[in-house]
Chains A and B, each alone.
Chain A
Amino acid sequence: MLELSLNHRFEEFRIELEFQAKVASITSLFGRSGTGKTSVINMIAGLTTPDSGFVKVGDDVLFDSSKGINVPPEKRRLGYIFQDSRLFPHMDVRGNLLYGSKMVPPNGQEITFERVVDILQIGNLLDRKTSNLSGGERQRIAIGRALLSQPRLLLMDEPLASIDAQLRSEILPFIEELRDTFGLTVLYVSHAIDEVIRLADKMVLLDKGIKEAEGDVEEIMSRLDLHPLTGRFDAGAVLSTRVADYDEDYDLTSLAFSGGVLRVTGVQLQPSTPVRAHIRARDVSLMLARPEGTSILNVFEGQIMEVGDEGGPQLDLKIDIGSPLIARVTRKSFNDLGLGVGKNVFAMIKAVAIDRRSLGGQR
C-alpha cells in the first residue's frame, strides 16, 4: 500500500494532498495540464524533495520530514515510467531493459526477463538501437526496463501522451496486466479522462496542486460540481455493468447494471465480463413522457436528483435511473419542460462509449 501526504510550495503554486493506493490496484491521479501531477510523482520517486509530509510504501518510510528521513531515489525501488520514455541512447534495447536489473541482488529477480519480454511482446526488438523505434515500442521498453528493476510500485506519468490513439489501445491492456499478473500497485498520472475510466480502480482529482476529490471513478464522474475539473466536453456518468448477453443477428450486446439493461453495438465480449460504460451528458436527452416510435434503444425512467447550474446556456442534470446518469440540456428546454429536482423524466441515450473492457475481477 502506498500512503502519502505532501506539502510543497513552488514559486507559482502549492502542492497539498494526501491519499492512499491499495496493493495491486491502479490509482489514477487526474488533473488538467499544469496542475502539478508530475511534481507529485517526482516527490514520490524522490527526484524532488517536498517541504513537508511523508511517503510510505507498506511499512517502509521513504520520506518523512518530521523524522528527517529521505531515502534517495535509487534505494526506493519504485518503477518510474516517464512521458518521454527516456531510453538510454547509447545502449540497445536489451541494454536498456537490463540496466536496472544489474543493481538487484540475484535472489530478488522475481520478475524475469523472459516474462517481461513475453508480456510486452518485445522479443523481436531486443537487438535494435533505440533511435529507430516507434513511440509505442519505446514506451513498452520503458515499462519493461522499470519492471526489471523489480519495483514494488509503478509510477506512470502520462505514459501514453506521445502515442497515437490506435497504439494507445494496444498498451492499455498491458498496464492492466501488470497489475493482474505481477500484483503491482500502479499510480497512473493522466489528463485523459478516457484512459482513467478505462484503467483506474480509484481516482484522485487534482487541481492547482490541491486534491479536490478522491474515490471511485463512477462516483467522481457523477458529481456535477466536479465537471469543470473532469472536463466539460466529456462530462458524463460512468456505469459499472456486466455483459448479459449478445444478439448475433443485430450485433447488439446487453449490459446489465443496477438501473436495467443498456444495449450497445460493436462490443463482442464474453458474458459476465465487467465493463464500464461512459455515457456523456451531451449524448443524453430528456422527455417528459415515455417516447413512442423512437429509434433510440436505450430509454430509462428516472427522477432528477440534482441540477448543476453554472449560469451558462446549458445545464447538467443528475438523474437517478437506478444509477446516477447525467444529462445536458439547454436552459430553454429546462424552462419549457419545467424541469427541476424531484421531477420524473425519461432519459434517452444516443451513443454509449465503452471505455473499459475488463475490470480484472472488479475490485
Chain B
Amino acid sequence: MIRIFSILAGLFFTAALLWSFGNGAYSAITDPAAVTAEEMFHKHPKQLALASDGAFGNFDHRQLQRGFQVYQEVCSACHALSQVSYRDLKQLGYNDDEVKAIAAKAQVPAYNAKTGEVKSHKGLATDHFPPVVYGGQGTPPDLSLVTKARHGGGAYVYSLLTGYQNQPAELLKHFPDAKVPDGLHYNPYFVNLNIAMPPPLTGDGQVTYGDGTKASVDQMAKDVSAFLVWTAEPSLAKQHQTGWPVLGFLLFATVLAYMAYRNIWADKKH
C-alpha cells in the first residue's frame, strides 16, 4: 500500500518537474536569454602577489605602512575603517608614541551625557577610526573588511584601483544604450562596469613615501591593497604561525594512532 502511495507521490513530483523543464526548455529556445554587457566585459581580478599570500604568508610591515599612508592621504577622505582601532597599528611596526601621534591627528566624535552634545575629541590609541561623512554620489563602503567581502580579495582592490579606462567602443557597438551614466566611471573590474568612485590614484608621486619607494600608481595600489588585506584579517600571520605546529602535532598523533590501530588489530583479520 505504502508503495502505491509512494509511486503516486513520485509521479506527482516528477511530472511537476517535467512540466517546469518543458516550459523552461521551450522559452530557452524561443526566447533565449540575451547576453548582458556585464557578462561580456566584466573582468576577473589581475594577479597580485603579496607577502601575506600562501600558507607561509607573513605581512610585509614596510609595505603595510606605505599602504596605510595611501589610505590616510587618499582613501580616508571618503572611506571609513571602522573595525580598526589606532592601537592595532602597532602591528604594522609603529611604536606607542607614533600610534598616539597618528591617533591625535583624528577627530573622534563622542556623545557627552552631561551636556547632550556630540563633540569631537582628539583621537586616542584606544579609539577606532572615526566614521566618515560623505555627501557625494555613491556610497563609499567601509574598507575594514573589503578584501574579505569581495571575490578576489586584495587582487580585486588592486585591479579596481588600476583598472579605470575609457569605455570600449566595442561595448557601445553591442549595447548602444549602455553608455556610462553621468558621474560614473568605466571600470571593467567593478561588478556592473560603472563605478561612482572617480579614479583615486591619478598620478605618480601622489603620496611621498618615507622609505624612498617610488610612489607609482601601480605601487600605491599594491601597497594599499596589502594594507587592506591586513585590516580585514589582522590575525592572518598568527593563523599561519599557529597552524603549522598544530598540523605537525596532528600528523604525529595520527601516525602514532595509526600504528596503535595496526598493532591492536594485528591478529584480527577484518
B and A form one assembly: no
**What residues make up the interface of B, taking CB atoms closer than 8 Å to A?**
none
**What residues make up the interface of A, taking CB atoms closer than 8 Å to B?**
none
